[in-house]
């Protein structure tokens, strides 16, 4: 029996977290789309948008994100970075992935990995994806909309033919009974705590400890047909991925328009 979400249950489950306004949608196009609109109108810090169904859930580079009502979590959190945080904006992309990793580890006592920049893997399969989008008004950053989609319960991971990379759901990896609302609370609590550490050295170290494919060959593809192959060395302080290329040189790649694939 899947538990349905509603605004009251959400508010109750998230009580005590320092959130701004909470929006619940039975159905919407995309919580990120709605979040960008709300951010543009001037949102409260840590405004949360949660949807049971998304008709136009999106990933990076215009890709689609699939949400299974009753079994997934799809939400967006509006963060309003301070001046100091704005100089570390690229790390906001990594923040969501790391928060989901930590939440899974605490909730289910299992190991996680991040596929750069921010896909969360369980046993080599994708269980969560993050889409961080900035809302600019001229020179001013009105907010970062951190969209998170997580496959939690059976039936939430799309079948192999529908995804670019094997997908899984958390419940398939743990005997702990996964419950969507308590898991949502766990992720948000981690996000709020980790955000305070985003400018500490330890933040990128913690991320690197979970980095998938270290010392393994991967290919990075841009949306425009360029690709680079190399062995993963790690990530830099600003979140860029470091590869050793075939000619022996090292190169770093910014978070953004690149997609990583393991080779073989």
* Burial tier of 156 (Cβ tally within 10 Å: 0-12, 13-18, 19+): buried
Handedness of CA 15, 18, 21, 27 (dihedral sign): negative
Nearer CB in complex with ligand BT5: 57/239: 57
How many Cα atoms occupy the beta-carbon half-sphere of 3 within 13 Å? 12
Residue 22 pairs in a beta bridge with: 48
Pattern 193-232, binding to ligand BT5, x per CB under 6 A? Answer: ----------------------------------------
- Contact between 22 and ligand BT5 per CB under 6 A: no
Counted residue by residue, the chain has a size of: 264
Identified binder of ligand BT5 from the candidate list 80, 102, 126, 180, rule CB under 6 A: 126
**DSSP for 98-144, written as a single string:** HHHHHHHHHHH----EEETTTEEEETTEEEEEEEEEEEEETTEEEEE
Identified binder of ligand BT5 from the candidate list 59, 81, 97, 143, rule CB under 6 A: 59
Spatial distance between the Cα atoms of 154 and 120, rounded to a whole number of angstroms: 17
Spatial distance between the Cα atoms of 216 and 243, rounded to a whole number of angstroms: 10
Nearer CB in complex with ligand BT5: 199/223: 223
- Contact between 58 and ligand BT5 per CB under 6 A: yes
Nearer CB in complex with ligand BT5: 7/61: 61
Residue 151 pairs in a beta bridge with: 72
- Contact between 79 and ligand BT5 per CB under 6 A: no
Instruction: Give the shortest CB-248-to-ligand BT5 separation in angstroms.
Output: 30
- Contact between 129 and ligand BT5 per CB under 6 A: yes
Identified binder of ligand BT5 from the candidate list 71, 104, 130, 152, rule CB under 6 A: 130
The helix or strand, by DSSP H or E, that contains position 204, with its residue range, turns out to be: helix 201-209
Q: Return residues touching ligand BT5 (CB under 6 A).
A: 30-32, 54, 57-61, 63-66, 74-76, 119, 126, 129-131, 147-149, 151, 157-158, 163-164, 167
């Amino acid at each position: 029996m899947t538990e349905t979400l509603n605004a009251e249950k959400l508010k109750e489950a998230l009580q005590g977290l320092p959130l701004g306004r909470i929006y619940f949608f039975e159905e919407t196009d995309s919580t990120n789309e709605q979040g960008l609109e709300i951010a543009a109108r001037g949102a409260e810090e840590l405004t949360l948008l949660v949807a049971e169904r998304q008709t136009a859930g999106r990933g990076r580079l215009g890709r689609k994100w699939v949400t299974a009502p009753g079994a997934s979590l799809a939400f967006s959190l509006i963060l309003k970075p301070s001046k100091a945080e704005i100089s570390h904006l690229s790390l906001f992309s990594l923040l969501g992935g790391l928060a989901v990793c930590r939440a899974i580890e605490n909730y289910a006592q299992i190991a996680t990995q991040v596929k750069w920049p921010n896909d969360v893997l369980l046993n080599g399969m994708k269980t969560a994806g993050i889409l961080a989008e900035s809302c600019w008004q001229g020179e001013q950053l009105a907010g970062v909309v951190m969209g998170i989609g997580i496959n939690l319960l059976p039936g939430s991971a799309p079948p192999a033919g529908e995804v670019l990379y094997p997908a899984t759901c958390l419940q398939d990896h743990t005997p702990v009974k996964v419950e969507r609302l308590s898991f949502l609370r766990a992720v948000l609590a981690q996000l709020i705590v980790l955000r305070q550490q985003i400018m500490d050295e330890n933040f990128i170290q913690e991320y690197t400890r979970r980095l998938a494919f270290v010392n393994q060959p991967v290919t990075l593809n841009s949306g425009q047909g360029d690709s680079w192959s190399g062995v993963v060395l790690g990530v830099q302080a600003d979140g860029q991925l470091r590869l050793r290329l075939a000619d022996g040189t090292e190169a770093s790649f910014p978070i953004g328009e690149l997609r990583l694939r393991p080779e073989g």
